[in-house]
């Protein structure tokens, strides 16, 4: 899709804290939508953000504060409201409070925008994608979570730094939970079009499990490391959400590691990330990626972890 304003395309962002406001700003500067509606329990905040955003717009994109009836005809409703992780908390620690918020707001979105696509970013994102799917009554293809899109971007960046190459030349992904049990798919990773081992041999790099383990630890712990310093994370997820929105609005069939509801690795009825195809009708399964034995085991474990969080919530 050309990076030009899509006339009449409305996006709603619910929750305009650190993540929601960065997302709205990223969307605005991308120039791919004509209207961005901001909803927050703090109405002054939503109004202030939309006024500020309009002063940044050099295009036809307009932002305004709104309420649930303004979700009508939105192409995508992005959900970023709720509590965030504080230093020392895991994403799963947020589950009960944020699930209650989803159960409160999602029926309102579904009432006014029965045909929209729901894109969940609030954490724990896999658990809340499932909760939102149930609360919306939408079909599977119209509810997705940002999942491990951010973890995948982080892994590609860190590998790029390690090999001194652009992240664009790194083909790698993290699947599973967006959280502590995410799974890096080393068996399919390639650099500059070459399998990891071959690339390392050709460039005289050491190909050592301990190095990859450390790289993944940095990826997995990135949010903790950022939160310890600045209190929250925002730009990485905003860029990830833009990538997802572009794939949907542009009808590109791009594969991204978003979180969707289904049966995965022997566990029924959960939401978890695997590569999925995105286009204007939403999110669609692709062929299952071939994992090695260890990766399959880790995916089973990650799936069970999400199931157990859902059971605790009794959803």
Tell me which residues touch ligand 6V0 (CB under 6 A).
14-20, 40-42, 45, 80-82, 84-85, 94, 98, 101, 104-105, 121-123, 125, 146, 150, 178, 232-233, 237
Write down the least CB distance from residue 174 to ligand 6V0, Å. 11
Nearer to ligand 6V0, 19 or 174 (CB): 19
11's enclosing H/E stretch is strand 10-14
Residue 178 is among the residues annotated as catalytic for this protein? yes
161's enclosing H/E stretch is helix 149-163
Catalytic residue among 87, 178, 205, 213: 178
Nearer to ligand 6V0, 10 or 178 (CB): 178
Give every strand in the sheet of 117-120, ordered side by side: 62-65, 35-39, 10-14, 76-79, 117-120, 143-145, 259-264, 267-273
Give the C-alpha distances (Å, rounded to integers) separating 206 from 80, 156, 186, 196, 222. 41, 18, 15, 10, 24
User: Closest by alpha carbon to 36, among 70, 13, 5, 2?
Assistant: 13
Tokens linked to 297 = 């085991």
Write down the least CB distance from residue 243 to ligand 6V0, Å. 12
Nearer to ligand 6V0, 16 or 24 (CB): 16
The Cβ of residue 13 has, within 10 Å, a number of other Cβ atoms equal to 31
Nearer to ligand 6V0, 163 or 224 (CB): 224
Using DSSP, state whether 286 is helix, strand or coil.
coil
Nearer to ligand 6V0, 196 or 247 (CB): 247
Write down the least CB distance from residue 222 to ligand 6V0, Å. 10
Distance from C-alpha of 191 to C-alpha of 161, rounded to nearest angstrom: 12
48's enclosing H/E stretch is helix 43-56
Nearer to ligand 6V0, 182 or 196 (CB): 182
Token pair 């409160």 in the structure block, residue: 104
CB-CB contact of 31 with 242 (8 Å): no
Write down the least CB distance from residue 105 to ligand 6V0, Å. 5
Give the C-alpha distances (Å, rounded to integers) separating 112 from 43, 115, 190. 19, 9, 44
Write down the least CB distance from residue 113 to ligand 6V0, Å. 15
Write down the least CB distance from residue 98 to ligand 6V0, Å. 6
Phi, psi values for residue 235, rounded to 5°? -70, -40
By annotation, the residues acting in catalysis are 178
């Amino acid at each position: 899709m050309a990076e030009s304003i899509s006339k009449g395309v409305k996006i709603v962002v619910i929750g305009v804290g650190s993540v929601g406001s960065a997302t709205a700003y990223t969307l605005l500067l991308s120039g791919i939508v004509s209207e961005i509606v901001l909803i927050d329990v703090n109405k002054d905040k939503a109004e202030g953000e939309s006024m500020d955003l309009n002063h940044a717009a050099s295009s036809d994109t307009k932002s305004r504060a709104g309420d649930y009836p303004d979700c009508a005809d939105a192409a995508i409703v992005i959900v970023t409201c709720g509590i965030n992780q504080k230093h020392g908390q895991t994403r799963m620690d947020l589950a009960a409070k944020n699930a209650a918020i989803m159960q409160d707001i999602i029926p309102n979105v579904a009432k006014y925008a029965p045909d929209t696509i729901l894109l969940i970013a609030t954490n724990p994102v896999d658990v809340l994608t499932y909760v939102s799917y149930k609360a919306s009554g939408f079909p599977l293809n119209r509810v997705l979570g940002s999942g491990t899109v951010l973890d995948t971007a982080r892994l590609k960046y860190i590998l790029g730094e390690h090999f001194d190459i652009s992240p664009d030349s790194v083909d790698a992904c993290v699947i599973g939970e967006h959280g502590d049990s995410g799974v890096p798919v080393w068996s399919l990773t390639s650099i500059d079009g070459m399998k990891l081992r071959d690339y390392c041999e050709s460039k005289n790099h050491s190909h050592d499990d301990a190095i990859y383990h450390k790289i993944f630890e940095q990826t997995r712990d990135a949010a903790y490391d950022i939160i310890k310093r600045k209190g929250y994370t925002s730009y990485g997820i905003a860029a990830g959400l833009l990538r997802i929105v572009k794939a949907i609005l542009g009808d590109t069939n791009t594969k991204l590691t978003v979180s969707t509801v289904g049966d995965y690795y022997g566990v029924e009825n959960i939401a978890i990330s695997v590569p999925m195809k995105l286009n204007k009708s939403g999110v669609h399964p692709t062929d299952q990626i071939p994992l090695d034995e260890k990766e399959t085991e880790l995916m089973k474990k990650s799936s069970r972890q999400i199931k157990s969080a859902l059971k605790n919530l009794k959803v």
